[in-house]
Amino acid sequence: MPSRTSSHTSQHDTLSPPSNQERTPLLCHSNSTQSQSRAYHRPSCQQQECEHGALSPHASRPNSSSSVSPPNPNIDAAAYTPTHMGSDYGPQTSDAHRLSPDSYGGRYGGERDLRHGILGDAVADGVLGDGTGDDLGGQGNGAVEEDDGDGKKKLKGIVSGMSTTQWLARKHGVKGRRTMYLAYYLPFLNWITQYRWSYLQGDLIAALTMASFYIPMSLSYASNLGHIPPINGLYSFVFNPLIYAFLGSCPQMVVGPEAAGSLLVGTVIKSSVDQGHIGDDDGAMNAAVAGVVTGMAGAVIFVAGLTRLGFLDSVLSRPFLRGFISAIGFVIVVDQLIPEMGLSKIAKHTEGVGHGSSLDKVIFLVENVTYAHGLTCGVAFGSFAIIMVCRQLKRYIQPRYPSVAYIPDRFLVVVLSAVFTWRFGWDKKGLEILGNVESSTGSPFPFRWPFVPSHMHHVREAMSTSFLIALLGFFESSVAAKSLGGGEGRHGEGIQGMSLSANRELVALGVANIVGGCFMALPAFGGYGRSKVNASTGGKTPMSSIILSLITVICVLFLLPYFYYLPKAVLSAMISVVAYSLIEECPHDIRFFVRIRGWSELALMFLIFAATIFYSLPLGIALGVGLSLLSVIKHSTKPRIQILGKVPGTQDQFENAEDNPQSLEFIEGCLIVKIPEPLTFANTGDLKNRLRRLELYGTTAAHPSLPRVRAPEHNKNIIFDVHGVTSIDGSGTQVLTEIVDGYVDRGERVFFCRVPASNHPVYKTFEKSGIVERCGGPGHFVKNVNEALRMTEIVEIGEFYRDHPEQGGA
């Protein structure tokens, strides 16, 4: 009978090698040619003739000193095998960190101590050190470098508690093993050492181009969407890009305010006005509320980064995001039509319009279209048309002439509209202008800590909205960062070695927004369009973000008077262009879901869109987030167990019997169940009920009201294929133990196949919980389903002769 241990026997012990005539010339080698073969043959293989290449997974560790030695004489032979994690190993590189073709990495086989388990490698090794007094470059952690008598160095006396990171760093001769963590978590130290003067021209041009586009846009976001003083929009470009340049992991991403986040800030301010906490025209208090929202959004994602919740960008489904973002685009278009048509004063004195739903505003526009101001409409719609035409022309021409990306069309529209307003006196003819742009406190950069006790009622009001701002902002930042990439694979161009990290992005964006909140700025995150402008106009490093911050500081200190004659209608037109870009991708997604018959996704998109349009943004937010979270919970708690059937004409091929039961064979007396995922408290709550359905109906799709249709005789042998169970927690172990106990108590045999190795945590958990013993010992844990079926026959025969000893001599 095959035993558990025999399933791990090396193939060299059971298979005789083919003859030399059957070999390819490359893999045919002998003792006389061993030195030449090492270039492609693993030295850890003990066979003088084998079929291994350098990447073969079947090489075993040498057991004697006569085995093939490593090609590098400075490497201890006992440590050469990449999968060997013993206590004796030697340094594998010289003083310079060079990687040889034989550097495979690996994992440290010692026990992970409590300090590393709680604090992590970065804090335990980088901040506290490894406790040996040689943290900056020595071996440390109890390792003593000794001479083995032949001039070779190797490490002795490694104690438990070493991290895999430190083990690999020492093994491969990495210097500065403590400071490498600092460069990782403070990327500024990484890219500034690689900066070249040749990058400065591209970074400067990119920063000037972005400033011409987005500084006027930030004024629009603040005054028209956020309902705060325009200067507070500029603060988002003063502090946030600068801080992200120091902490962010994407070199070409530029952070700044976005339309969706600004609009959500405006909803909180409107809510505070409706409840009487602040006045509608109180710019100072409006800015303070905006600072609270921004600071809370930053605190949320900062804590999420510290707790390694970088996966949160996957919580919101694509239909929710598309429906919600399209609804935001529609809301913005409708909101901006009021100032674009010169109806702001009428709307202010019409009850239920200023803080009403988009439907209320559409009705207001239709009823008051005859009162529209002609000059305001001409300036607004003319600016919108010019920007849209330039936008489309750039899309058409840029692939052939990339330099058109440098043309600051929006900046020219802003400058010309301000000059024409001043020259022709349009402000005296009824065209509203921006006027004095100054801080509500008189200081150019007022500091105000947002989390003071007097602001607690604002904190309560802004809690849910701040969470959504953080989630939406991080989602957009993740999309931009993933599309731009880090510093890998640029073949020497730009910054190298800055790997993207969702958790570090959370920390960087969190710190940036907490600081921005202290200066009452709008929430700022990475934008895909803005970052693509940065990359396409020559920006290669975070220095472009630093230069953009400096340009914005210069604007705040010296150029604010020149914004006096800027028409508000032009700012509204610029925002309408952004809103159009939010809506224009919706038809593509609708066509896609129609093509794949994704009716549930379409229903979710329409539901969120309708709730936002016909009622309010908070309802759309609550509905979308709630449905998305329910979908995630439902998906994660549903066990994905399958009943397997045998493919006819094969020996060991089994497939899901529920997909095509007519083409598979069911094994008499056996219920073969595949568990294709780790078992946790989340997905084991309904595992018993799902298994019960398989026992009764042979499928999980049948309704439980159906009487039993599967004969009990076919459940005498329960075979679990647990190849997908790579981990199992305490709750999952307890449920599985109860399931196994129930089968054994009913006299049914239980077998497990494709279980991890005996030293794997999953198998150790099975042993400690008593599952192995209850099943009948290690013999009931086999390597595949076919062997489990043979074991059922062997056990049945053994039980038959045990119960009928008189038949034994027949």
Tell me: do 722 and 748 sit in the same domain: yes
Residue 2 has pLDDT above 60, yes or no: no
Query: Which pLDDT does position 808 carry in this prediction?
Result: 61
220 within 8 A of 575, measured Cβ to Cβ: yes
Domain boundary among 607, 630, 653: 630
Distance of CA 491 to the CA centre of its chain: 25
Stated pTM of the model: 0.69
Residue 74 lies in a domain: no
Tell me: do 19 and 157 sit in the same domain: no
Structure tokens at 124: 């335990």
DSSP letter assigned to residue 367:
H
Weakest mean pLDDT among 241-255, 508-522, 646-660: 646-660
Please report which confidence band the pLDDT of residue 109 belongs to, taking 50, 70 and 90 as the band edges.
low
Query: Which pLDDT does position 803 carry in this prediction?
Result: 78
pLDDT greater at residue 312 or residue 249: 249
**Can you tell me the mean pLDDT for 612-629?**
81
Weakest mean pLDDT among 43-52, 170-179, 338-347, 728-737: 43-52
Tell me: do 308 and 379 sit in the same domain: yes
Residue 559 has pLDDT above 60, yes or no: yes
Residue 269 lies in a domain: yes
Whole-number Å distance between alpha carbons of 146 and 606: 71
Q: What's 9-51 look like in SS3?
A: CCHHHHCCCCCHHHCCCCCCCCHHHHHHHCCCCCCCCCCCCCC
pLDDT in tens, 452-485: 877 777 777 788 889 889 988 888 888 788 777 6
Sheet of 654-656, strand order: 654-656, 642-646, 670-674, 717-721, 749-753, 781-782
Weakest mean pLDDT among 123-132, 183-192, 228-237, 625-634: 123-132
Please report which confidence band the pLDDT of residue 93 belongs to, taking 50, 70 and 90 as the band edges.
very low
Residue 768 has pLDDT above 90, yes or no: yes
Residue 669 has pLDDT above 50, yes or no: yes
Residue 227 has pLDDT above 70, yes or no: yes
Which of 213-222, 281-290, 413-422 is most confident? 413-422
Residue 40 has pLDDT above 50, yes or no: no
Domain with 801, as residue range(s), is 638-807
Residue 22 has pLDDT above 70, yes or no: no
Residue 81 has pLDDT above 50, yes or no: no
**Can you tell me the mean pLDDT for 413-437?**
93
Angle at 758 between CA 755 and CA 761, to 5 degrees: 80
Tell me: do 59 and 87 sit in the same domain: no
pLDDT greater at residue 805 or residue 579: 579
Query: Which pLDDT does position 290 carry in this prediction?
Result: 93
Tell me: do 581 and 615 sit in the same domain: yes
Please report which confidence band the pLDDT of residue 536 belongs to, taking 50, 70 and 90 as the band edges.
confident
Query: Which pLDDT does position 486 carry in this prediction?
Result: 60
68 within 8 A of 45, measured Cβ to Cβ: yes
pLDDT in tens, 369-392: 999 999 999 999 999 999 999 989
Query: Which pLDDT does position 673 carry in this prediction?
Result: 92
The CATH number of the domain holding residue 737 is 3.30.750.24
Q: What is the mean pLDDT of the chain?
A: 79
Please report which confidence band the pLDDT of residue 153 belongs to, taking 50, 70 and 90 as the band edges.
very low
Please report which confidence band the pLDDT of residue 500 belongs to, taking 50, 70 and 90 as the band edges.
confident
Query: Which pLDDT does position 58 carry in this prediction?
Result: 38
Domain boundary among 68, 100, 118: 68
**Can you tell me the mean pLDDT for 64-73?**
40
- Residue 529: other Cβ atoms inside 10 A: 14
Residue 73 lies in a domain: no
Please report which confidence band the pLDDT of residue 161 belongs to, taking 50, 70 and 90 as the band edges.
low
Query: Which pLDDT does position 672 carry in this prediction?
Result: 92
**Can you tell me the mean pLDDT for 203-213?**
89
**Can you tell me the mean pLDDT for 68-85?**
38
Query: Which pLDDT does position 112 carry in this prediction?
Result: 65
Query: Which pLDDT does position 548 carry in this prediction?
Result: 95
Domain boundary among 608, 630, 652: 630
What's the chain's Rg over C-alpha atoms? Answer: 34
Tell me: do 107 and 229 sit in the same domain: no
Query: Which pLDDT does position 99 carry in this prediction?
Result: 58
Q: Give CA separation, 116 vs 427, 727, 730, in Å.
A: 66, 20, 22
Tell me: do 625 and 642 sit in the same domain: no
Q: Which phi-psi region, left, alpha or beta, contains residue 776 (left: φ > 0; alpha: ψ -120 to 50)? A: left
Number of domains in the chain: 4
Query: Which pLDDT does position 458 carry in this prediction?
Result: 76
287 within 8 A of 440, measured Cβ to Cβ: yes
Tell me: do 390 and 412 sit in the same domain: yes
670 contact partners, CB below 8 Å, separation of at least 6? 714, 716, 717, 718, 719, 789, 792
Residue 578 lies in a domain: yes
Residue 76 lies in a domain: no
Tell me: do 350 and 474 sit in the same domain: yes
Tell me: do 566 and 497 sit in the same domain: yes
Whole-number Å distance between alpha carbons of 524 and 477: 10
Query: Which pLDDT does position 159 carry in this prediction?
Result: 45
Residue entry with tokens 């303070």: 288
Residue 148 has pLDDT above 50, yes or no: no
Query: Which pLDDT does position 565 carry in this prediction?
Result: 94
Structure tokens at 536: 């396409």
**Can you tell me the mean pLDDT for 159-175?**
73
Weakest mean pLDDT among 53-67, 321-335, 346-360, 672-686: 53-67
Side chain identity, residue 208? L
Residue 139 has pLDDT above 50, yes or no: no
260 within 8 A of 528, measured Cβ to Cβ: no
Tell me: do 616 and 525 sit in the same domain: yes
Residue 77 lies in a domain: no
Whole-number Å distance between alpha carbons of 328 and 265: 13
Whole-number Å distance between alpha carbons of 689 and 592: 36
Tell me: do 321 and 383 sit in the same domain: yes
